[in-house]
Amino acid sequence: MDLVAELTKRRVMEGELQEKETTLSTVLDAVRDAIAILDDHGNVTFWNTAAEKLFGYPQEEILGKDLHLLVVPEEHLYETYSKAYNHFKTTGKGNAIGKIMEFKAKHKDGRTFVVELSLSAMRIKNTWHSVGIVRDITERKQEQEELKNSRQKYLELTENAPIGIISCDYKGNIIYVNQIVLEILGSTSIEETKKINLLTFPLLVRHGLSRQLEECLKSNKSAMHEINYESKWGKKVWLRIHIKPRKNRNTVIGAQVIIDDISERKQLEEKLFLLSITDSLTSVYNRRFFIQKLEEEIERVKRTGRKFSVIMMDIDHFKCVNDRFGHNCGDFVLRKIMSETIKKIRKIDTLARWGGEEFIILLPETTINKAVVLGEKLRERLSRMDIPNVGNVTASFGVAEYNPGDTVDTIVQKADDMMYQAKSAGRNCVRYIRE
């Protein structure tokens, strides 16, 4: 009776064990990673469905075979594994067990691929086995290689780019700067440049760049900025700056700052602008720019109630100068007269060529009396000038003061009328209208 009970108990235990093994086998077959169990000789004792798909060997072909079937010969993984596993069996220690290794595996059809192997130890019936979990990481390695190549290309591009490139973290610390930045700013080294904090450096704060960078970092929006800048190394330069936030998983971690030296373009723009507002012969302002300044002054005095005046001047008998000495000499006379006139007026005054030998002066914050005094000084100075090969040249002056209701046309007309009165009075004199 005891024997029958013992046999019955044993059958039940064997049944339970069989059921557990079946369940475990089913679970292991369902996982996505390849799983192989090796005995203490390195021979395969278990091989799940994922392993069959990964390596191409069905279970019946691989069971009892050793590891070298699955490893590219030059990887030497089999030898490494054997030594490490024997050491583990003897000492219970070893850096192969519990570690993740990468190696090139080979498929049954001969192609190779990169896998990641994780080994753990398991005792079965007083014998140590190793459980290997294998994952195909070929795509991941390719992505890593592509990312590495991409980063390398990026670095090559940034280093050879014709523009300056700076990368900073969220706190404004510079983490990367290319060589062109040093040339643009006149910096002595990358290390020196990296000492600048883009959010706190006084020169950048003063020019508003730090504030704009801070706004870009907070709002995750790009921005463009132009500044006339003098670097800490003393180089003066016009910069166009483009700020673009850098993100990691939708979180702003810093910014890429692209700086372009636009000094030549700005200088050209300034020259073109100067050409557009000046008279090419005398280098004083032209009629169009004068009208613009006069319109602005009229709007200003409408708000402030202050005064301004206008002087119109015309070179006397200038046609005779051209007829007698030639147009080149006449041009020289005009340039000489304007050069002397500029010396007598203020920086806030606007001197322009109105047309031919007529010139006009806008005098902000100037009453009719003060304008007349200036007209007399100019008249006297010109009449005493001795121009080489020409002698003395005089001019007639008309002065008018702005009054409420005046427009550009009316105040210019009043000054022009007074100038013609001066000519009618014998020239080389000043006439003005007091309203």
Predicted local confidence at residue 94, as pLDDT:
47
Q: Which CATH superfamily is domain 278-433 in?
A: Reverse transcriptase/Diguanylate cyclase domain (3.30.70.270)
Buried-exposed string 334-369: b where 16+ CB fall within 10 A, e elsewhere = bebbbeebeeebeeebbbbbbeebbbbbbbbbbebe
CB 223 within 8 A of CB 212: yes
Q: Where are the beta strands (DSSP E) in 30-99?
A: 34-38, 44-47
Which secondary structure element, helix H or strand E, spans residue 352, and what is its range? strand 350-355
At position 248, the amino acid (one-letter code) is N
Q: Which entry of 6, 21, 60, 357 is annotated as an active-site residue?
A: 357
Distance CA(398)–CA(360), nearest Å, equals 9
Predicted local confidence at residue 90, as pLDDT:
56
Environment class of residue 189 by beta-carbon count within 10 Å: exposed (0-12), middle (13-18) or buried (19+)? exposed
Q: Does residue 357 carry a catalytic annotation?
A: yes
Distance CA(247)–CA(179), nearest Å, equals 24
pLDDT per residue rounded down to tens, the chain (435 residues): 466 566 666 665 556 555 555 555 565 666 788 888 888 777 888 888 888 898 889 988 888 887 677 777 665 655 665 665 565 555 555 444 556 778 888 888 988 888 888 877 777 667 777 788 888 888 888 877 777 777 666 666 666 677 889 999 999 999 999 989 999 999 999 999 999 999 999 999 999 999 999 999 999 999 998 999 999 999 999 999 999 999 988 899 999 999 999 999 999 988 999 999 999 999 999 999 999 999 999 999 999 999 999 999 999 999 998 888 899 999 999 999 999 999 999 999 999 999 999 999 999 999 999 999 999 999 999 999 888 888 889 999 999 999 999 999 999 999 999 999 999 999 999 999 876
Encoded tokens for 136: 């195909």
Q: Please provide the CATH number assigned to the domain covering 161-265.
A: 3.30.450.20
pTM here?
0.57
Residue carrying the six token digits 């590219």:
72
Distance CA(423)–CA(427), nearest Å, equals 4
- In this structure, is the dihedral angle defined by the CA atoms of residues 159, 160, 165 and 169, taken in order, positive or negative? negative
CATH class for the region spanning 31-138: alpha beta
Cite the DSSP H helix spans in 225-282. Answer: 263-277
Distance CA(393)–CA(388), nearest Å, equals 11
CB 107 within 8 A of CB 55: yes
Closest CA to 333 of 278, 286, 393, 384: 393
Predicted local confidence at residue 290, as pLDDT:
97
- How long, in residues, is the chain? 435
CB 245 within 8 A of CB 298: no
At position 239, the amino acid (one-letter code) is L
